[in-house]
Structure formats: structure tokens, C-alpha cells
């Protein structure tokens, strides 16, 4: 538990530094593009249009889902995925990529995945704002449930950090883990209720297993805050408690692993 408290203390003490580095990283990622930061919205928009065309039009799934137009249902569920996917992929390899830059500095190594995630978080907030405008135009106006949406937006960051704290440490030791992470994320994308949801037609025991996927909780939570206007956390409090416990366990394991290997990173890098 001491390792976890130390990690959290490093995040708080380095908060200003994390913000500065995240903004710098965001500029680096877009400095060679003529449209610059606009690609942080345009690229996901193009992918979302492609998903709608394939799953909503060609595959004839444009029928309402849970009483919602498929396009809006899909947009709300996928809105966090671009942030989550990029954060895990780039955050997992952040320590072994950036270690040589900070090896001789008094720099908390746990802040490296944090600022990578934060740089993607800024893009996520802008994309989410654009999606909200689309929903307003479509007749889904702001409501008190936006307060619940704020919780899920913050939770997406916390979950991404909990995962990358562990994976960024293990990837330094075993580089092949990066390929496994990429494959797992691809599988999670298609078994989660992001582009489709046929879980209601599955056996109850299989539905219960699929609900253990933390992406299931986030996708439906975003939809609740943006569209369905239900108190998803209250109505599904058992699932909420499970996800809180899952993050605590991931943070604890990640902190233990990080402190165990952080003084040996130079040997592996």
C-alpha cells in the first residue's frame, strides 16, 4: 500500500509538470501536419463515419438501438475509445521510449505514462465537445445527467492510468507484451457494446462475464450521460463497485511492479 500512496503523491506533486509535458507532446504529435490539432478531431470523425457506413448502413443495423438512433448510440459509445485506445498503446511503451531523456534527471518515472495519457485526454475533451454539439443539433439537449458524464470522463482517465502504470512497467521488461496489448485492445473493441450490442440474445452467464469488461461500464455510462438520461451508476451500483475495486487492484499491482523494477529500468532499456 505504501507504493500506491507514493505513486499517488508523485502524481499530485508533478501535476503542473504533467500538464506542461502533455501540451508539449500534443504539439510534437501535430507539428508536421498542416491542419495541426484539427486532426485530433478529423481522424476520429473519419473513422466514426466509416463505422457508421459499415455497421449502420451496409450491415443494415441502422435501426434504433435501445430507442436511440444507431448513429447517436454509436457516437456516444465510441466517444471515449479513441482516447482509451491511444492512451493504452502509447502509454504502455512510454517508459522505455522516454527513459533515456530523464535517466539523469530528478524526474518521477511514474509521471511519464501520465503525461502521455494527459496529452490524449485533451484531444478526447475536444472530440467529446464536438459530439455533444451534434447531439444538441439532433435534439438531445444538456441535462442534469451531464454531472454523471463528468464522472465517467474522469473515470476513463483513471482507468487508463491504472492500466498503463502496470503495462508501461512490464513492457520495459518484456517488449513482446506491447504486441499482446495491441491484440487484446482490438478484441476488446469488438466484444464491447461500442459498435453493436447483441448481449441480450446471449445466455445470462455469458452476459455476466461480458459485463466484467470495464469498457462495457464506460460505454454505457457515456450513453447514459449524453443520451438516455438515466442515473447509470445508481441503477447499476454493483457494476460500479466492481469497477472501482478493479481500478484499485490494478493501481496496487501496478505500483508494486513499478517500484520493484524502476531502479532496474536502465538494465532493461
Query: Which pLDDT score, from 0 to 100, does residue 164 have?
Result: 94
pLDDT in tens, 66-122: 677 888 888 888 888 999 999 999 989 888 877 777 656 667 888 889 999 998 998
Tell me the pTM.
0.89
User: pLDDT higher for 117 or 56?
Assistant: 117
What is the rounded distance in angstroms from the CA atom of residue 83 to the CA atom of residue 245? 22
Task: Name every residue whose Cβ is closer than 8 Å to that of residue 146 and which is 6 or more positions away in sequence.
Answer: 225
Phi/psi at 65 (5° precision): -115, 120
Q: Please check the confidence at residue 5 and state whether its pLDDT lies above 80.
A: yes
DSSP calls for 34-96:
SSGGGHHHHHHHHHHHHHIIIIIIITS--S-BTTB-HHHHHHHHHTTHHHHHHHHHHHHTHHH
Q: What angle do CA 139, 141, 146 make, to 5 degrees?
A: 145
pLDDT in tens, 234-257: 899 999 999 999 999 999 999 998
Q: Please check the confidence at residue 222 and state whether its pLDDT lies above 90.
A: yes
CA distance between the termini of the chain = 27
Q: How far is CA 2 from CA 6, 9, 247, in A?
A: 6, 10, 17
What is the rounded distance in angstroms from the CA atom of residue 85 to the CA atom of residue 116? 12
Q: Which three cell numbers stand for residue 56?
A: 449502420
What is the rounded distance in angstroms from the CA atom of residue 225 to the CA atom of residue 196? 19
Region 159-166 average pLDDT: 94
What is the rounded distance in angstroms from the CA atom of residue 18 to the CA atom of residue 12? 10
Query: Which pLDDT score, from 0 to 100, does residue 260 have?
Result: 84
pLDDT in tens, 113-153: 999 999 899 889 988 998 999 889 888 888 898 999 999 99
Q: Which three cell numbers stand for residue 52?
A: 457508421
Q: Which three cell numbers stand for residue 80?
A: 471515449
User: Which helix or strand (DSSP H or E) is residue 25 part of?
Assistant: helix 15-30
Q: Please check the confidence at residue 155 and state whether its pLDDT lies above 90.
A: yes
Residue 65's beta-bridge partner residues?
68
Query: Which pLDDT score, from 0 to 100, does residue 139 have?
Result: 84
Which band of pLDDT confidence, cut at 50, 70 and 90, is reported for residue 64? low
Helix 70-78 to helix 111-137 angle, to the nearest 10 degrees? 160
Task: Name every residue whose Cβ is closer than 8 Å to that of residue 133 and which is 6 or more positions away in sequence.
Answer: none
Q: Please check the confidence at residue 33 and state whether its pLDDT lies above 80.
A: no
Q: Which three cell numbers stand for residue 253?
A: 499491482
Task: Name every residue whose Cβ is closer than 8 Å to that of residue 223 and which is 6 or more positions away in sequence.
Answer: 68, 73, 76, 77
CB 100 within 8 A of CB 266: no
Q: Please check the confidence at residue 44 and state whether its pLDDT lies above 70.
A: yes
Query: Which pLDDT score, from 0 to 100, does residue 227 have?
Result: 86
Q: Please check the confidence at residue 21 and state whether its pLDDT lies above 70.
A: yes
Query: Which pLDDT score, from 0 to 100, does residue 243 have?
Result: 94
What is the rounded distance in angstroms from the CA atom of residue 169 to the CA atom of residue 164? 8
Amino acid at each position: 500500500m505504501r507504493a500506491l500512496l507514493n505513486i499517488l503523491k508523485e502524481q499530485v506533486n508533478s501535476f503542473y509538470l504533467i500538464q506542461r509535458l502533455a501540451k508539449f507532446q500534443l504539439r510534437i504529435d501535430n507539428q508536421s501536419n498542416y491542419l495541426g490539432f484539427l486532426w485530433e478531431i478529423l481522424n476520429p470523425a473519419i473513422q466514426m463515419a466509416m463505422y457508421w457506413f459499415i455497421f449502420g448502413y451496409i450491415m443494415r443495423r441502422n435501426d434504433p438501438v435501445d430507442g436511440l438512433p444507431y448513429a447517436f448510440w454509436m457516437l456516444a459509445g465510441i466517444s471515449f475509445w479513441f482516447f482509451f485506445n491511444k492512451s493504452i498503446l502509447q502509454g504502455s511503451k512510454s517508459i522505455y521510449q522516454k527513459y533515456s531523456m530523464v535517466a539523469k534527471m530528478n524526474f518521477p518515472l511514474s509521471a511519464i505514462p501520465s503525461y502521455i495519457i494527459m496529452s490524449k485526454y485533451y484531444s478526447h475533451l475536444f472530440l467529446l465537445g464536438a459530439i455533444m454539439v451534434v447531439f444538441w443539433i439532433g435534439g438531445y439537449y444538456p441535462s442534469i445527467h451531464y454531472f454523471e458524464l463528468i464522472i465517467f470522463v474522469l473515470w476513463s482517465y483513471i482507468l487508463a492510468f491504472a492500466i498503463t502504470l502496470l503495462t508501461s512497467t512490464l513492457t520495459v521488461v518484456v517488449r513482446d507484451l506491447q504486441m499482446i496489448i495491441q491484440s487484446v485492445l482490438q478484441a476488446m473493441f469488438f466484444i464491447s457494446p461500442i459498435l453493436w450490442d447483441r448481449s441480450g440474445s446471449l445466455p445470462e452467464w455469458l452476459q455476466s462475464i461480458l459485463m466484467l469488461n470495464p469498457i462495457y461500464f464506460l460505454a454505457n455510462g457515456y450513453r447514459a450521460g449524453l443520451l438516455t438520461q438515466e442515473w447509470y451508476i445508481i441503477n447499476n451500483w454493483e457494476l460500479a463497485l466492481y469497477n472501482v475495486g478493479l481500478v484499485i487492484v490494478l493501481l496496487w499491482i501496478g505500483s508494486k511492479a513499478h517500484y520493484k523494477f524502476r531502479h532496474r529500468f536502465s538494465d532493461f532499456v
